[in-house]
């Protein structure tokens, strides 16, 4: 049974989803990097892992990859140790109503179809992109920085208003968050803040709500939160106003809640290759060599989820950076976690970063 076309009835409306399900197939000897490419290119948020003789082995999702990265795997590691081998599957002959009931009961958006010979023959998708879930969580955007490393671009224009692909950097952030169900934004402004307010206004142009936090002096990447008069009732997103990323804010919120964290920091794997061969020594004795070794570390991606109680630890008009805030939470025995992300990400902090962003978002791309 080839599931090239699926009609799903939701609230008496028929949503037509056309796709080539074979894009989800992935060989078991694939690397994490190739698996990430598969998930990004297919858009299905799941891969069906098969053996060399096409036997279905299991599934692989974003979450499996993130857990593998946390365990110390790198992008060149095999996916064999992170395949989920107890996946719920259905036979080709199962009816649509039963399939929908199974997906609803198990909270699934994807359901593999496997025949009696354990061969993957299809993939059922619940296309929730057609009906984005509304979220009442707010997003705070830190947009008060002077952008000194980007001069002369920022001499007469605040960094969040620098254009990439024909629109300001911060407009990209807002539109992506809105597409994922976020409709209430709070923007912290300082340097050339009036220009930001004039451009975005109250958000009605985008059918969203925008409030502002006015910094009298630079308060850092977290300090402006102390200016909030109305404390959020739910976990809220905080992002730097110069971060361009394909991160799914809804998944980040869900991850934060699942791990019962007080503060969650999105982190990006950064690899740096030493330009020289390294000699390992013990005193004057040579004990080994490494030819241009690669160093791997997780860096702060500038996107966070915070619980409302965090705001109570901040003082009005007191400078505070986000790493300091996280350290404060740890000192208070609050749980702080990382969200390993592999999505495209760029901190537009320097002129060459701005140029890369503009090339990526050029109309020809």
Annotation marks residue 37 as catalytic? no
Q: Are 246 and 228 in contact (CB under 8 A)?
A: no
> Which residue in the list 2, 292, 360, 365 is annotated as catalytic?
292
Rounded CA gap, 254 and 251, in Å? 5
β partners of residue 303? 239
Characterize the bridge pairing of strands 139-143 and 236-240.
parallel
What own/partner pairs with CB < 8 Å and gap ≥ 24 does 89-97 have?
89/56, 89/113, 89/114, 90/114, 90/124, 91/115, 91/116, 92/1, 92/121, 92/122, 93/1, 96/8
Active site residues: 292
């Amino acid at each position: 049974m080839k599931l090239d076309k699926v009609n799903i009835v939701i609230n008496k409306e028929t949503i037509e989803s056309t796709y080539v399900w074979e894009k989800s197939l992935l060989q078991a000897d694939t690397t994490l990097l190739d698996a990430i490419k598969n998930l990004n290119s297919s858009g299905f948020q799941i891969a069906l892992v098969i053996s060399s003789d096409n036997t279905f082995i299991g599934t692989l999702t974003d979450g499996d990859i993130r857990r593998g990265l946390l365990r110390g795997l790198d992008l060149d590691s095999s996916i064999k140790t992170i395949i989920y081998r107890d996946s719920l599957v259905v036979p080709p002959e199962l009816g649509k109503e039963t399939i929908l009931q199974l997906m609803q009961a198990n909270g699934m958006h994807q359901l593999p179809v496997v025949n009696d010979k354990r061969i993957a023959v299809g993939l059922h998708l619940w296309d929730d992109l057609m009906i984005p879930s509304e979220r009442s969580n707010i997003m705070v955007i830190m947009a008060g920085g002077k952008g000194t490393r980007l001069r002369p671009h920022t001499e007469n224009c605040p960094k969040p208003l620098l254009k990439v692909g024909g629109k300001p950097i911060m407009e990209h952030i807002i539109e992506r968050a809105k597409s994922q169900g976020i409709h209430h934004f709070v923007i912290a402004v300082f340097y050339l803040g009036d220009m930001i307010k004039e451009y975005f206004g109250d958000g009605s142009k985008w059918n969203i709500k925008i409030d502002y936090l006015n910094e009298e002096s630079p308060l850092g990447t977290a300090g402006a939160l102390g200016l909030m008069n109305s404390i959020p009732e739910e976990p809220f997103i905080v992002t730097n106003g110069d971060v361009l990323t394909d991160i799914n804010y809804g998944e980040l919120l869900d991850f934060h809640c699942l791990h019962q964290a007080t503060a969650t920091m999105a982190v990006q794997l950064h690899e740096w290759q030493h330009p020289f061969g390294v000699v390992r020594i013990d005193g004057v004795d040579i004990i080994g060599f490494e030819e241009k070794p690669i160093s791997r570390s997780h860096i702060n991606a500038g996107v966070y989820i915070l619980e409302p109680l965090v705001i109570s630890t901040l003082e009005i008009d007191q400078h505070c950076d986000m790493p300091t805030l996280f350290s404060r939470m740890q000192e208070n025995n609050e749980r702080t976690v990382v969200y390993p992300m592999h999505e495209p990400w760029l901190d537009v902090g320097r002129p060459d970063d701005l140029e890369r962003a503009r090339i990526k978002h050029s109309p020809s791309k």
